[in-house]
Chain A
Amino acid sequence: MSGPSVEVVAGGVAARRAFLAILWRDIFVTGKELGYFLSQVTIQPLFMLLVFGKVLNAGGYVSDEYSRLFLPGVIALTAFVTALQTVALPLVMELSYTKEIEDRLLAPLPTYLVAVEKMVIAVLRSLVAAGLMFPVGALVLGSLPWHVERLPLLLVSLVLAGWIGAALGLALATTVPPAKVNMVFAMILTPIMFTGATQYPWQSLDSIAWFKVLTAINPLTYASEAVRGAMVPHVPHIPPWLCLLVLVGAGTALSAVGVRGFLRRTIH
């Protein structure tokens, strides 16, 4: 027997090419509907900022300080929700009704990589959406908290926020029956959005212990806290290293569930 055959080597090249081509397809489609995509992902955070950061502040109900600590939470939430939305509903449709994904499932790459690609494009789209929130935030609130030396932490936090959103989307889309998906999303998404420390710092919850515990089991909390740690470090926050650790752990676990669900749905 000789060493690895030509075929095996070529197979790896084919898989890499196929992966990049599928990623390019998603980038291409995002580009085609860029206006629609951008308005879809910014409309909700824009109004949240406007009401909680500006209107309530103008009425004297919340302080300038609150506006400043709310923005990082909104940015983390935008990354998380955008990634989740990029994967979840489209994948439900592709797997059950349009079968659009079949052409990619028959491309020459291991099937799990099709699921990984879904998460990669979701993270890329979530970074664009989160990035857009900086000028939007500056415009609405009139200023932008900014720490150059903490930019790497900010970027890593946003990537991880997108990843847990994407992985959760993958897990939901492949395990929930298509007919129940709308209900499940409503049941799961709202609690996650409101117990994810996006609208309040986690350490401010000392007086409501049960809610503090509930918030601590939501991975979004660690994304919000990490982004807050990067943007407004003077506000008490969970140590960034702990946030990143939890996010990596949650991302890995959710990805494992999601990829396994994806394989179960696509190969019988």
Chain B
Amino acid sequence: MTAAVQVEELVKRYPKQDRNAVDGLSFTVKPGEIFGLLGPNGAGKSTTIGVLTTRIRLTAGDVRVAGVDVMRDPVAARRRIAVVPQQANLDRELTPRQNLTFHAAYHGVPRIRRDELVGGLLTQFGLAAQADAKLDWYSGGMAQRLMIARAMMHEPAVLFLDEPTTGLDPQARLFLWERVRELRARGVTIVLTTHDLEEASVMADRVGIVDHGRMVAMDTPAGLTRGLAGRSVLDVTMTLADGDEMTGVVVALQTVVGVDRAEPLDSTSVRLALTNEPETLIGPVVTLLAGRSATVTALRSGAPTLEDVFLHLTGDELR
């Protein structure tokens, strides 16, 4: 099966720069996948997306979207992709509906098919009632939705979303996530760049973390956080049985498989440093304490998030 996106040893050096903006980047996105591209500012994400969307010429490497070489045949590549940029670039001389129909016309979608698609997409993106309003009245969230609807008008194989929910309120964000999942369900491959690590872990099937123009990690969000399993903790708060001592409890908890070490936080709680995911240890810990007639009153797990992975891999200095 042809990969939806195939990037091999991509190098981009801008004129008069002494280092490569993208420096030997490789990754593949499978058809129907949601792929999240993460990285600090200036890591090379935007340049990579620019090359994939035919707006930036590569210096070296091989880049294909839906099987088409973007350097050799950018026109054919443009027929298979759609781009939703971070900054609104809607046509302000046209109404929202006309933005969709003209976009489809540029892509040679026959008029009948255009009219079929417009109604459905406007409804799906909650814009049917404002389809003929002035674009000036559109909020940031509405403009964002309209741009995604526009992108879908020529039924692309791959959709590029650049920071899709930056600046949106939580409702708009959830709405957008749902719509993006619907698009995937229809078989559209989605490549999204984001700074929002929660968004990446909720939305993406796989995540690639880019730094200094190279791919430093690539896996499912769960797989990436699992790599930091040794960093998760479980805080246990309990009421001890009469006559039991905290020191004894700590020693006993140390023997549970998956607990790296245990240390008392105060007279009623213990922090366990784990080598496994916290969920797998709740049972054994509660069982052990029940055996000593202690009552567990609270459990709080601190699993590493994608953010921890991100900071671990890219460092925490400001760029």
Residues on A lying within 8 angstroms of B by beta carbon are 7, 11, 13-15, 17-18, 21-22, 24-25, 28-29, 32-33, 98-100, 102-111, 266-268
Contact = CB atoms under 8 A, between A and B. Distances in A.
Contact of B79 (A14, A103, A104, A111): A14
Nearest to B88: A99
A111 B94 CA distance: 22
A13 B79 CA distance: 12
Contacts of B150: 103
B102 interface: yes
A44 B56 CA distance: 42
Interface residues on B, range: 20 to 34
Contacts of A107: 78, 106-107
B108 interface: yes
Given A98-B92, A99-B89, A104-B106, A267 B75 contact: no
Contacts of B79: 14, 108
A106 B87 CA distance: 15
- List 4 tightest A-B contacts by C-beta distance, closest first: A107-B106, A99-B89, A21-B105, A17-B108
A13 to B, nearest CB: 7
Given A104-B106, A268-B56, A99 B76 contact: no
Contacts of A13: 108
Given A267-B56, A267-B57, 17 more contacts: A7-B73, A15-B75, A21-B108, A98-B89, A100-B89, A100-B93, A102-B83, A103-B90, A103-B91, A106-B83, A107-B106, A108-B76, A108-B108, A109-B75, A267-B55, A268-B14, A268-B50
Contacts of A21: 102, 105-106, 108
A94 B106 CA distance: 18
Given A99-B85, A106-B78, A18 B91 contact: no
B108 A99 contact: no
A21 B91 CA distance: 14
A108 B56 contact: no
Contacts of A7: 73, 76
B105 A29 contact: no
B83 A110 contact: no
Contact of B92 (A18, A100, A102): A100
Interface in B64-122: 73-76, 78-79, 81-83, 85, 87-94, 99, 102-103, 105-108
A109 B51 CA distance: 17
Given A17-B108, A267-B56, A108 B93 contact: no
17 contacts: A7-B76, A15-B75, A21-B105, A25-B106, A29-B93, A99-B87, A100-B89, A100-B92, A103-B99, A103-B150, A106-B82, A106-B83, A108-B106, A108-B107, A267-B54, A268-B50, A268-B57
Contacts of B106: 18, 21-22, 25, 103-104, 107-108
A21 B88 CA distance: 22
Contacts of A29: 93-94
B144 interface: no
Contacts of A15: 75
Contacts of B102: 21, 25, 28
Contacts of A111: 74
B290 to A, nearest CB: 63
B55 A266 contact: yes
A111 B105 CA distance: 17
B225 interface: no
A268 B76 CA distance: 19
Contact of B107 (A11, A18, A24, A267): A18
Query: Which residue, of B14, B88, B108, has the highest number of chain A Cβ atoms within 10 A?
Result: B108
Nearest to B105: A21
B53 interface: yes
B56 A14 contact: no
Contacts of A28: 102
